[in-house]
Amino acid sequence: MIPVLSKSSAVQTGSVMFSTISAVVGGLGMFMLGMWLMSEGLRMAAGNTLHQLLQHWTRTRLHGLGMGFFLTALIQHSGAVTVATIGFTNAGLLTLERAIWIIFGTNIGTTVTAWLVAMIGFNFNIAAFALPLIGIGMLLKISQGEKAVAWLGQALVGFGVLFLGIDVLKDSFADLGAAISLDISTGHLATDILLFTGIGFLATVLLQSSSLMLAITMTALAGGIIGLMPAAAVVVGSNIGSTSTAIFSSFGSTAAAKRVVSSHVIFNLLTASVTLLILAPLLAILHFVQQLLVDVPAETTTLALFHTLFNLLGILLIWPIANRLVNWLEHRFISKEDELGKARYLDKHALNLPSLAMHGLVKETQRVAEMALKAAADSINFERLHPDLKKNQQYCEQIILAIGEYSHQLYKQNLPESVSEKLPVLLRINQYYAAISELAVMLNKNRGTLETTMASHIETQLNDFYKDCLSLVSAANINDSGESDITHQMDSLESNYQSLKSLLLRRGAEGTLSIARMEKLLTAISQARRICQQSMKAFNYFQNSQFETDQN
């Protein structure tokens, strides 16, 4: 006789299933909320420390790996560290060679999540562990205002909420494991591995968190919903999917960003490809080693071991080819990204780190200074005409406009006084360079009408004046670290200008120099003088504001 469920029994079963699925959704939400609270709290508590660590403690491969591991393990968010690294590379604070090792280190840092879930999530009374953290964290957050301690309190709250989410997921998947199973098979091992790898990849792209996907996989494994082999394949797929965060952040970004992202994708694909080829024997070896140490090894611990081992395998694979990878990437993405008129150091992801954003603005201003002062020198030097100065002016205007828009976005952030005071100064300096670039075009245009013979004493004094202008423009280069007594040079040039102007006016009055010729010469020396004045002002403002210009 076939048993038939009563209507009330079917309703009860449906109600239980609905409650379980609701708990899973709630657990996922708690995990993501905890992750966000923790990473945001630690980021705000760190302040400029992240800037200093990435800039000064990544000088070797091992230091870079260590820093990537440390920061990811600390804030439990590899995507945030990856995006920050891209921002530092855009700002010129990190070379590509340094950046890639930080990125590789973040992969190892994600293994801490697996061990936290395996060791704490399945072996402790999570409520007794997490609830006090939430209480203490909220007390610090409420009582300490905007201090670093308050943000550390938020991080504690996030840590507690994260593990409460894991606890909910663990219990929910245990209930689901009795009803459903995802431990399916097509009958072909290779096809099964690729199927679950694809599931891990797609789920991570959608969730935008490999840590969340790892927690889901481990709790599903503990609940019996999925087997060890499929779980390992999901983890590998999730590792590939984690590159999507970096890929999305690089859209519309600079060449430097795309090179860093490419290194991330290449590393994860290489690691995943080799791991998938040896997946079955690797899991067998791990399980055998565990059995030598404990009688009944936990599959969640096996998965955590596997996750650690395959990330370390990736480092071993990439180590001997890293230099060639960097050289290859340096020659990619050049045609579009290295256009003269496009900002190179203004990264939107750096806006949350004011000191980093300011560094990018300073480096972009130095680019504008180099372009404008070179155009000024070319226009003053009468050896030949320079037809490209108009195009150079357009490049300067485009970059200065980008600087202005970026500064406006930065000003909306919660800025420290040291940054908010310097932003208007930086915009003023860029306006001086805009004027220099425009004057260079005007002076270059007028030169064609001036290149005719004239009295030797006038020509000699003109040449001396232009030489003084060239010397001052050269001394006004803000990219040079040395100090320059540019104000004294300007005083001397002003005296020479007034003397030359008087000479031209006298010769015009005497009739030895035509009035039309005199007016053109007066216009030319006035434009050269104004170039020097603007150069001096830009230089003095830059020096007096003590902008940081450290180079790596």
pLDDT, tens digit, 9 for 90 and up, residues 34-76: 767 776 776 676 655 666 666 667 778 898 899 888 888 876 6
Contact 311, 108 (CB under 8 A): yes
Residues 6 or more apart in contact with residue 323 via CB below 8 angstroms: 97
6: helix, strand or coil:
coil
Whole-number pLDDT of residue 433: 95
Nearest Cα to Cα of residue 170 among 304, 27, 25: 27
Residues 111 and 24 in one domain: yes
Mean pLDDT across the stretch 429-458?
Answer: 82
Both 72 and 201 in a single domain?
A: yes
What's the pLDDT score for residue 255? 76
Residue 380, amino acid: I
Residues 442 and 477 in one domain: yes
Per-residue pLDDT tens for 403-443?
Answer: 999 999 998 887 888 788 889 999 999 999 999 999 999 98
Report DSSP state, residue 451.
-
What mean pLDDT is predicted for residues 200-214?
81
Three state DSSP letters for 274-306: HHHHCHHHHHHHHHHHHHHHCCCCCHHHHHHHH
Of 304, 334, 364, the residue that ends a domain is 334
**Do 221 and 186 belong together in one domain?**
yes
Residue 3 placed within a domain: no
Number of domains in the chain: 2
Tell me which of 93 and 192 has the higher pLDDT.
192
Residue 17 one-letter amino acid: M
For residue 340, being part of any structural domain is answered with no
Unique residue bearing structure tokens 């709630």: 26
**Domain limit, last residue, from 334, 364, 390:** 334
89-98, 146-155, 397-406 — most confident range? 397-406
Residue 326 lies in a domain: yes
Do 328 and 352 fall into the same domain? no
Same domain? For 127 and 253 the reply is yes
Q: What per-residue confidence (pLDDT) applies to 92?
A: 67
Q: What is the pLDDT of residue 318?
A: 94
Amino acid, single-letter form, for residue 388: D
Domain boundary among 312, 334, 356: 334
| pLDDT exceeds cutoff 70 at 139 | yes
| Residue pair 541/486 in contact by the 8 Å Cβ criterion | no
Enter the tokens of residue 226: 């999925």
Kindly state whether residues 311 and 399 are assigned to the same domain.
Answer: no
Query: What does the pLDDT average to over 263-278?
Result: 93
What's the half-sphere exposure (Cβ side, CA atoms, 13 Å) at 470?
13
- Asked whether 46 and 175 are in contact (CB, 8 A), the reply is no
Share of the chain above pLDDT 70, in %: 80
Residues 454 and 516 in one domain: yes
Residues 498, 487: Cα–Cα separation, whole Å: 17
In a domain, 240, yes or no: yes
pLDDT digits (tens, 9 = 90+) for 360-386: 999 999 999 999 999 999 888 865 556
Amino acid at 253: S
Is 7 contained in some domain? no
User: What is the reported pLDDT for 236?
Assistant: 93
Is the per-residue pLDDT at 245 higher than 70? yes
- Structural domain including 487 reads 348-545
Asked whether the predicted pLDDT for residue 316 surpasses 70, the reply is yes
Q: Is the pLDDT of residue 182 over 70?
A: no
Q: What is the mean pLDDT of residues 177-190?
A: 62
At 37, list the tokens.
């609270």
Within 10 angstroms of residue 299's Cβ, the number of other Cβ atoms is 20
Residue 470, pLDDT score: 93
Is pTM beyond 0.85? Reply is no
Task: Evaluate whether residue 461 is within a structural domain.
Answer: yes
Amino acid in position 102: I
Average pLDDT over residues 435-455: 78
Rounded CA-CA distance 55/32 in Å is 30
Instruction: Give the pLDDT score at 8.
Output: 52
Residue 536 and residue 495 in one domain: yes
Indicate the angle between helix axes 456-475 and 354-380, nearest 10 degrees. Answer: 170
Domain co-membership, 34 together with 129: yes
Q: Which of 4-13, 218-227, 283-292, 360-369 has the lowest mean pLDDT?
A: 4-13
Q: How far apart are CA 479 and CA 476, in angstroms?
A: 9
Least confident of 99-103, 223-227, 435-439: 223-227
Residues 354 and 321 in one domain: no
CA 362 to chain CA mean position, Å: 16
- Residue indicated by tokens 């400029």: 48
DSSP secondary structure letter of residue 349: G
Band of pLDDT at residue 234, cut at 50, 70 and 90: very high
pLDDT of 129 reads 66
Q: Do the domain assignments include residue 551?
A: no
Q: Are residues 28 and 155 in the same domain?
A: yes
Number of H helices, E strands in the chain: 24, 0
**Is residue 510 a part of any domain in this protein?**
yes
Tell me the mean pLDDT in the region 382-391: 69
Kindly report the average pLDDT of the chain as a whole number.
81
Which ranges in 447-514 belong to alpha helices (H)?
456-475, 486-510
Q: What is the pLDDT of residue 113?
A: 78
**Calpha distance 470→466 (Å, rounded):** 6
Asked if residue 314 lies in contact with residue 107, where contact means CB atoms within 8 angstroms, the answer is: yes
Task: Output the domain CATH number for residue 479.
Answer: 1.20.58.220
